[in-house]
Amino acid sequence: MMKKIITIIILLIAGITNAQLVVDDFKTGTINKKTYTTGSGIVSTQKGNGIVKGIRSINAKIRQNPNDHGMELSIKNGLLTMSYGYDTRGTTFVNYGVDKNGENMPMNLNLKDYKTLKVEFEAKSTINGININMFTGNRYAAYGDHVRAREGKFVKEIPLKDLRPTHKDFTLSDIDYIRFQFDSRSKTGCNMAINKIWFE
């Protein structure tokens, strides 16, 4: 009996330790299709119960589009899909901690018990950047890296200890707003799809 209780306690502790906080599984808050060709696109918001705090905003800034191939974006079937055409250079911004108008609405997330932010890609055509900003109020921490190209699923792991705070008042105990940036900055453009973002 005691052995069973100990096993259950161990499993319970393991479960808590490995608990996930899903930021977005892209199964809700669908976008049928958006095409971005120039400048900063209009910010749109989507609601869904698979999104942290129930709402996200999204937009893209196109810096260069010499062949008028632009970028196509959709969110459906559990995938955020982006096709940046040949020599289209720009950034997609995905934001959490917003209201229906895209304005800041603090999430007050306590992330101090989580170790890693994970972004699962379904596939990715070329090496390009990912940038993440997390805010406590208007104080933020930043992370940036290149994400490899790969045919097939892979997870980009971002240790939360690698976030670089820009002010002493930034704290993982109170995250109000998170911004993800997915870049296309190479001649080849970049095609990619993301199926989940979560803390673990």
Partner 1 sequence: MKTIFLGISLFVSFIAHGQIVLDDFSTGPMSQKKHSTIAESKLTQSGSNILNNQRDILVKIKKNDDKQLILSKIEKGRMVISMGYNITGAIELRYGYDRTKPLNLNLSKYKSLNIEYEAKSNFGRVYTSMFSNGPNRAFWRGGGNRTLFEGKERGFTLKIPLVELQKAQDNKNTNAFTIKDVDHIKIQFLAQNKRGLNFTIKNIYFE
Residues making contact with partner 1 (CB under 8 A): 33, 67-69, 72, 74, 76-77, 79, 81-83, 85-88, 122-126, 149, 151-152, 186-193
> Parallel, antiparallel, or unpaired: how do β-strands 154-159 and 89-96 relate?
unpaired
Structure tokens at 110: 């306590």
CB of 127 to partner 1, least distance (A): 9
In Å, how far are 18, 19, 128, 154, 162 from 115, measured between CA atoms?
A: 9, 11, 24, 18, 10
Tell me whether residue 58 or residue 178 sits nearer to partner 1 (CB atom). Answer: 58
Tell me whether residue 72 or residue 200 sits nearer to partner 1 (CB atom). Answer: 72
Tell me whether residue 153 or residue 167 sits nearer to partner 1 (CB atom). Answer: 153
Tell me whether residue 98 or residue 130 sits nearer to partner 1 (CB atom). Answer: 130
**Residue 188: half-sphere exposure toward Cβ, Cα within 13 Å:** 9
Tell me whether residue 88 or residue 133 sits nearer to partner 1 (CB atom). Answer: 88
CB of 2 to partner 1, least distance (A): 51
**Residue 5: half-sphere exposure toward Cβ, Cα within 13 Å:** 2
Tell me whether residue 74 or residue 116 sits nearer to partner 1 (CB atom). Answer: 74
Angle at 46 between CA 64 and CA 190, to 5 degrees: 30
Residues in the chain: 200
Beta strands in the chain (DSSP E): 21-24, 31-36, 39-40, 44-47, 55-64, 71-76, 79-84, 89-96, 116-124, 128-136, 139-147, 154-159, 164-165, 177-184, 190-199
Helical spans, DSSP H, in the chain? 2-17
CB of 66 to partner 1, least distance (A): 9
